[in-house]
Amino acid sequence: MGQGGEDPFSDVRHEFGAQHTAEKLRVVEEYLPLYTTALKNQPFQLHYVDAFAGAGICNIRDGETRVEIEGSASIAMRCEPPFHKMVFIEKERKHIDRLRAMLDAAGRRNYELKQGDANEYLPDVMRQLGRDRAIVFIDPYGMQLAWSTLESVARSKVADVWYLFPLSAFYRQAARDASGIDEDKKRALTRMMGTDEWERDFYAPKRQAGLFDDAPGYEREAGPMQMLEWVTRRLERIFPYVAEPKVLYAHRSSGAQGAPLFALYFMISNDKPNAIALAKKFAHHSLKRA
């Protein structure tokens, strides 16, 4: 805090999102204390890892106005019982500085801040966990998360994962007409999903309208929900358990449901039946209550 109680970071906000942002954060807020309460007496430490941590505060659109709500990092900071250690990864220096100020003001010393790309830092963080346990929250900016990074989380065998999949970015990049996908878009889609099988699975030759038409090319036959089912099957290849995702929609001012924007996934890397059963119970409760 500055002189007179002023917040020197008052202008550092994440200005993004709307009702779907609040929805995902309510789910995480429900889940974290269930997790730390159930495992607080176990012979291992509990970690919270936020791969795209932001500034700790979100400024979201609510109808015609904007409102300020806590971000995932702030929610994790005040979780009770607390985590033994919290790791926040964020590219923006101003966001890192604000997170540090918030943590210090709250008297928290059990944290580590990493400024940089989550695809570089997250695999190392997972390797360092050893036999400890972790909640990993992954809310990427667009399609920035690489599949190989997700694989590193799955290999850890010690993480419960909340992953906000960028569904609208996925189906927009995978354009209806295949001619609209340039090489950069192809690489981005393949990097995010770890395979180029989406080309074969989503696209089919166009039906030729007439005898003298040009070569028909290819078009995407899979709609957003079919694409999401494909994503789920991909995730099930690397995680022992993947819950049915909670689809978050755009909400029009009239209250009508709009286009699907994101899919909030819960995944478990631990393949032990008892661990899966407990995590499933907490996740289903959190998704129902939020």
Kindly report the length of the chain: 290
Structure tokens at 90: 């964020």
Per the structure, the count of domains in the chain is: 1
**CB burial of residue 211 (10 Å; 0-12, 13-18, 19+):** exposed
**Burial state string for 108-135 with b = 16 or more CB within 10 A and e = fewer than 16:** eeebebbeebbbebbbebbeebeebbbb
- For range 100-104, the mean pLDDT: 93
What is the pTM (predicted TM-score) of this model?
Answer: 0.89
CATH number of the domain residue 121 falls in: 3.40.50.150
Please say whether the beta carbons of 86 and 71 come within 8 A.
no
> Residue 238 contacts by C-beta under 8 Å, 6 or more apart in sequence?
150, 151, 154
How much is the pLDDT for 109? 84
200 domain-assigned? yes
2 domain-assigned? no
Q: Structural domain of residue 141, as residue ranges?
A: 9-289
4 domain-assigned? no
Identify the weakest region by mean pLDDT among 198-202, 208-212, 215-219, 243-247: 208-212
- For range 169-198, the mean pLDDT: 96
233 domain-assigned? yes
Q: Say which residue, 153 or 252, is predicted with more confidence.
A: 153
Number of Cβ within a 10 Å radius of residue 160: 24
CA 244 to chain centre: 15
Quick one: pLDDT band at residue 21, thresholds 50, 70, 90? Answer: confident
Amino acid at 85: K
Max CA pair span of the chain: 78
pLDDT above 80 for 5: no
